[in-house]
Each structure stands twice: as structure tokens, then as C-alpha cells.
A and B are shown apart, each in its own frame.
Chain A
Amino acid sequence: MTMQNNQIGLNALLELYQTAKAFFAQKSNKNAEQFFGKLAQICQSDSWICFFNNSGSDKTDCLVPKQSGPSHIATHNLFEFLPLMVTESAMSQLAEADVQGVLEAVYPGEQTEWRYACCFSVEATEQDTMIALVLRTEEQGPYNEEQLKVFETVETFLVEFVRFAYNQSLTDNLLNELRVSKKQQQVWLESLAWLNEAGDSDLKGEKIQSFYQSSIFQLNTLMMASAAVNFHYDDKAKQFDCLASHGSETIVANIQQLFDQNVDETWFPERKTICIDSNNELLSETPAFRYLILVPLYLQSQLNLVIGVARTDKPFNDREIMMATIFAESIELITERRDLLHSIRKHNLALQNERNEQQKLIAQLKETQQQLLQQEKMASIGQLAAGVAHEINNPVGYVSSNISSLGNYIEDLYEVIDSCLAALKELPEDNQKKQDVEKLMDDLDFEFVQEDITELLKESGEGVTRVKQIVNDLKDFSHVDEAEWQWSDLQQGIESTLNIVRNELKYKVDLVKDYQDIPLVECIPSQINQVVMNLLVNAGHAIEERGTIKIATYQPDSESVCIEVSDTGKGIDQEHLNKIFDPFFTTKPVGKGTGLGLSLSYSIIEKHSGNIEATSVVGEGTTFKITLPVKQQEEHADQEDS
């Protein structure tokens, strides 16, 4: 709408407002054409020229409409005119000569038809100024006073409006930035939360690898970067290996090349993030990425990882660098934590192992203690036995001898009595003395006494003999240490032992021998024979009517020799089996056996560092198995000589 009667309609102003807003939001050619075209229209002008500078730029842009559309003109030579135009704070019409000058500069070499121009000057901010010229042809004639007055109002309006629009667009920008910032903060918080969770877990073994991968992915997203990488520094080989990467392959390859060729320890003299852009002197060739930040991470004060983030569009601002550093340092903490956990786990394992070893040792010690106790017990019993035997010896000796003497005396006495009785017989029956004696004999039960005395002496004698035998066995029991070690043929020993017991066994026992090849054995032959004798005697006693005794010798391995004595006798109860080697344990009736035979055998075999064990089935028979080492350990043989 054009001006009617020098007044501008509301619609026209509205359109001017909208186009101006669009132009100041974005200074595109199209928006320029719309705005300045409208302005020219409102000002009843034919054409326009405008000058403006983009905020932050030193250059002044000049737009002129052409057939093809508005176009920019280089404006160097227009600087002369600008001062002219802007010092006039009020709306003004330019002098014709000035107009010519501008036109010549703006349309060089072209014939133009415009003669008259008015200048609008709008200052949005100090940096943002716009100057618009509206042009009129010769035909249209110059602008009159009234028009100029209206233009002033328009200029005022424009100024106010532009300031407002400008501020609004600033606000919009700020709001946008805030939104982006808020969004970024959201992403940042999410990243931190993710880090927290990921770092919380064990990260054993391969899990650390997937953590590195995921964390680099996160970092890349967080920083809105083209690529992110995680390199590990091998201190010994002095080189970097890529642990994880994400983003553009080209850029990653570039970074890899950088790490292979250029990067070394000296790049990171201290714990500080470094920023590299593509024309940094540390680079040997220009890389694909434009901006790269590298964060060094340490483990126990040694350079461990380097996290890198690269971007091609815009450089990293301080806040972004800080974010990247914090994120990377969290990775460092998590790595450290994992390392510590690993250490702790290892130590725990070592401690556990030690503890297990110690437990085993304790068990061993306990067993040894038990063994020692047992040995001591046996030794004390031995000592006790020796002491008792010694004490008993003398009284047993003289009692035995006395009983013998007693027997002799009684024989003598009875000789006297007999001859007296014979003499008595010759006296007549009615002899008083004879009758007295006969009565006395009756009262005192003489016949019975005479018979019984013999029994008495016999039984007492037997009793004392038994005691002597016990004393003997006791002495043997406590004197296992005596006698000489020799290399002996066990089978020969068994044969000679059989000779001794043959009498006792021959009526009820079938003897079976199974002698396999065995080597000579280092032992005390008399003692081994004693053991075999004991086993044979026991076997004989176990068989009630008839049975078999089997003697076997064999070599189970290169270091030992076995003797087995089995019988088909009545067997041993399971509950007695583990007591049979106890001293004085016997299941024989009182008076038969001392209960010392097996415990003595046990001592002897133990002295030989061997083993004696019994297996039995009640009603079927018993087997005793003796295992002896072929050769004794050094200490044994030496002990004997000392």
C-alpha cells in the first residue's frame, strides 16, 4: 500500500514490521529484498541500497537490488561516503552529487536513472548498524518536506522496532542456548549416572573392555564429537595401543596415526588436558580432524591412558574441555578402583591359600602331636612295665624258690609221718595212744590235708610261674631297643619259628605256605621271629577243633616286604579289632595269656618303621599283615651302636 495523503496505513506498517523482523533475524538476500523493497514502497521510491554489518564483523556489507536479485557489492570505496551519511542523526535527503557518487560506486560503469535519495540510519547495537537509502528517479522528483517529516517518524519507528526485534532475537538465541545447555546438562547428568553404575560393578576380566568401549561411546555423544578414543600407554614398549574408539573411521584412523608417529610421553609432562587444532606445530601432517583434546590419565602416578575427543565443526570451549576432563578422570577412578579390587582379590586369594596351608599344617601338627602322645604313652607304659618287673623280680624269685623248698620239706615230713604211722599200726587196737592219734587224724581231716597239700603246692607253684612269665614278657616289652640289626632272610626266620611252635600246632592245624621271592630285609631277626611266633600262637588258639593257618610272604613294591598270617579260626569282633594291640587287652579266659603278645609285636614292628594290621570276619577267620621296609632309614641303625 502506498502512502496516501502523506500517511502510512497500519497495514503497511505491519508488513514493514514483519519484514524487518525477518531481516534482522536472518540477514539473507531474500529477507533483505522483502524489507528494503517494502521500505522503498512505503517511501514512494523506486529502489534502494542498504549497508549493514553483521554483528562481530568488521566488514560492512552492501546490498543492491539487481535483475537477478539483490547482490552484495564490495564496499571499500564506500567508506568515504558512510561517514557522510551517518553523522547526520536526523533523517535527511542526500545532495545530488553525493547520490551520484554512491551510485557510481555501487553500480560501477552502469547508467542509472536515480537522482534523489533519502537516508535511513538504524543502530541496533553498537556493532550492528544499518543504513538504507531509498532512491527516486528524475521523473519522480525529489522528496518534499512533508515526506521527509513522515520519513523521520518511520526512521524513529524503525529504530525502536529494530532494537526491540534485536533484543527479542537475542533473547530467543539465549533461550535456545539455554535449552541446548539444559539438554547438554541432561546428557551430562545421564553420562555421570551411567559412569556411576558402570563403575560400581566388578569389571573383572573382559568386562573392563566393554566398559571402555561404552564409556567412549558415551563421551562421544556427550561432547557431540566426531570421534572419541581411548589409548593405553605401555611404559615398557613406549607405545600407545587403542583400547576403544567410536565415531568417524577416518578420524579414528587419523588419530591412530597421530599416536603411532607423533605422540609420546613428553606431550604430557603434567596432569593437564591438552588441546590440539589442525595447525598445531606438534603435528607432522594436517589431520582430518580440526580440533582434538587429549586427557592424560594415570594409574599409581604412571601414565596409563589417554582419552581423546575430536571434532571437525567447532572448537571445544572451556566448559566442554572441563566436561571431557571430568568424564575422563572418572574413567581413571574406575580403572584405579578396578585395579585395587583386583589387587585385593589377589591378596585375599593369597591369604586364603596361606590359611588353607596353615590349616593343613595345623592338622598335620595335631596328628603329629597325637602320634607323639601315643609314643609317649607307650614309652611310659614301657617304663612302668620295666619298673614293675624289676620290683617284682626279687620277691617272685624267692617265693618261687621257697615254694620249691616247701615242697621238699613236706615230702620229708611225710616220710617221717608215714614211718610213724607204720609204727603205730603195729600197736594193738586198744592202745590208748594209738586211739588218740587216730582220733586226732580224724578230727583234723588228715587224709584230706595230705592230698590237698600236694594240690596246694602245685597250684601255688603254677601261680608263681605265671607271674614269672608275665615279668619276663614285661621286660621284653620294655626292651625292644636292645639287640642287633641285620640283613636277614625272613623266610628262614619263619621256618625256625615254625619249628618251635610246630608241636603246639600239629594236632589241629593244616599249615599252608605261600612264599614268594623276597629280598633280604634289614631288621632285628630275633624280634621279628618273636612277632611271627606270637601270631602263630594266637592263630592256633583261635582255631577250636581243626583249621588252616596260611603263611605268605611277598613284595608289594620295591621298598617293602609283607608277611601275612591267616587262620580259619573264630575271628575277632569289629569292636575289639581296634583294641587288640593295647597292652593287657585279651579276650582269653583268666589265666590264659598275658594280653601283652600283640602290643609287644606292635612295638617291635613300630621300631622297624613297619606296619601291622588285622582284618577279621567273625566265624570265618583272621588275617594279620605285617609290612616292613626293606631298608631302614639311617638313624635307626646308628642309634643301636650308640
Chain B
Amino acid sequence: MDRIMILDDEPMILKSLERLLRREKKWEVETFSEPHEALKRAQTGIYELFISDYMMPEMNGIEFLNEVRQLQPNSQRILLTGRADIDGAVRAINEAKIFRLIFKPWNDVELIDAIEKALEYRYTLQKNKYLMDQIAIFETKFEQLVEQHNEHSSMVNTIRDLIHQLKK
């Protein structure tokens, strides 16, 4: 099951979000109202998705998500924000490679959809990486084999081309 961390300085919001996500019955949810605590936890536990509020007293959401990206580069990130807050922060949002912006007050359906999409995206990225690794291993093994057996058939070239295509 995928694990989701939610950070918001308002406990009521955390509870509400937790209820919402729980209904889907497919994710493990952990909530924090304090960014430093959340960061500490992120150092010891793996999360597939981080959802954070933007406007918080000690650290803003973008900073947090940026930190978390460096701790867990394989995760996805979603930012929750009131429309007024976000002016001028577009660049920062892009730097933190945030998957999606959800405006408060959120629409439940929209939020669930965003989470699913984020996790799917993450899965795809991971899968892609895995496949690339597999291709690299296969390529090495293949070349070894070609050398050992001194094979120069056209099939060897075809396979080489295919590997080349896949790596692009």
C-alpha cells in the first residue's frame, strides 16, 4: 500500500483530509501539523506521496516539499493553497517539482483524482527506471555473451539496435 504524508498547521484540516483519504481504503495516511517533526519522520520512513499546506508559520509548503524532494527523490509532491497566497511563487513551485496545485477549499473529487494521478505517475517513473536498469544489465550480459561466443550474425545487430532504441 502506498504511504501518504500530509502536513498542515491546522489539525481540523488534517482530520478532514484523513477521513477523506481513508474511505478509498487503499492508502496508509500519516498526518503532521509541525514541519520539523514531519521532516524528521521523512528521514526514517518512506512515503510515496507528500501533501503539504503552503501557508504555515515556521516554514512554507514549498520549502518543505523541496526539502522532502531531496530526502526522498522518488516521491511525488502536492501543494495545498488558498489562491491569494500563491502569487509570485510559480518559479519556486516549478523548482520544487510539485506535481499539482490544489486550491483551498478543495473539491473532494478533484483531490482524490490528483492523488491517484500522482501515485500513478510515480509508479510509472519507477517502473521506467527499473526497466532502464534491466536493459543496462541485459546489454552488459549480451555483450559478454557475444564476445564469448564470437557471434556476428544479423540478429546480434538487430538486438543492438533495439537496445539503443529502448535507451532513448
A interface with B by C-beta (< 8 Å): 386, 389-390, 393-402, 404-405, 408, 468, 471, 475, 479, 482
Contacts and interface: CB of A to CB of B under 8 A. Distances in A.
Interface stretch (B10-18, B33-41, B146-154, B160-168): B10-18
A393 B16 contact: no
Interface of B: 10, 12-13, 15-17, 19-20, 23, 82-84, 87, 104-106, 108
A402 B19 contact: yes
A386 B84 contact: yes
A394 B33 CA distance: 14
Contacts of A390: 82, 84
A471 B108 contact: no
Given A386-B84, A397-B13, A397-B106, 6 more contacts: A394-B13, A394-B82, A394-B104, A396-B105, A400-B105, A401-B105
A479 B84 CA distance: 8
A401 B104 contact: no
Given A393-B105, A405-B23, A471-B105, A398 B84 contact: no
Main secondary structure of the interface of A (DSSP, over half): helix
A390 B87 CA distance: 14
B16 A468 contact: no
Contact of B105 (A386, A397, A479, A482): A397
Contacts of A402: 16, 19
A210 B13 CA distance: 100
A401 B16 CA distance: 6
Contacts of A395: 12
Contacts of A404: 20, 108
Give the interface centre of A386, A398, A408, A482 by most chain B CB atoms within 10 Å: A398
Contacts of B106: 397, 401
A402 B108 CA distance: 10
B12 A393 contact: no
Main secondary structure of the interface of B (DSSP, over half): helix
A398 B12 contact: yes
Contacts of A405: 16, 19-20, 23
A401 B20 contact: yes
B107 to A, nearest CB: 9
B10 to A, nearest CB: 5
A38 B101 CA distance: 156
B10 A401 contact: no
B85 to A, nearest CB: 8
Ranked 4 nearest A-B pairs via Cβ: A397-B105, A398-B16, A405-B19, A401-B16
B104 A397 contact: yes
Contacts, number: 52
A408 B23 contact: yes
Contacts of B83: 475, 479
Contact of B13 (A398, A468, A471): A398
A395 B8 CA distance: 13
B98 to A, nearest CB: 19
8 contacts: A390-B82, A398-B10, A401-B105, A401-B108, A405-B23, A471-B105, A475-B84, A479-B83
A390 B54 CA distance: 13
Give the interface centre of B10, B20, B82 by most chain A CB atoms within 10 Å: B82
Nearest to A478: B84
A385 to B, nearest CB: 11
A386 B82 CA distance: 11
A390 B10 CA distance: 14
A508 B121 CA distance: 48
Nearest to B9: A394
A393 B16 CA distance: 14
A586 to B, nearest CB: 23
A457 to B, nearest CB: 14
A103 B87 CA distance: 148
Contacts of B87: 482
Contacts of B16: 397-399, 401-402, 405
A471 B84 CA distance: 12
B82 A401 contact: no
Given A398-B12, A479-B84, A393 B104 contact: yes
B101 to A, nearest CB: 15
A420 B106 CA distance: 36
B105 A468 contact: yes
Contacts of B84: 386, 389-390, 475, 479
Contacts of A482: 87
Contacts of B19: 401-402, 405
Nearest to B108: A404
Contacts of B105: 393-394, 396-397, 400-401, 468, 471
B15 A398 contact: yes
A290 B148 CA distance: 157
A527 to B, nearest CB: 15
A372 B15 CA distance: 46
B130 to A, nearest CB: 36
A276 B108 CA distance: 120
B109 to A, nearest CB: 9
Give the interface centre of B13, B17, B83 by most chain A CB atoms within 10 Å: B83
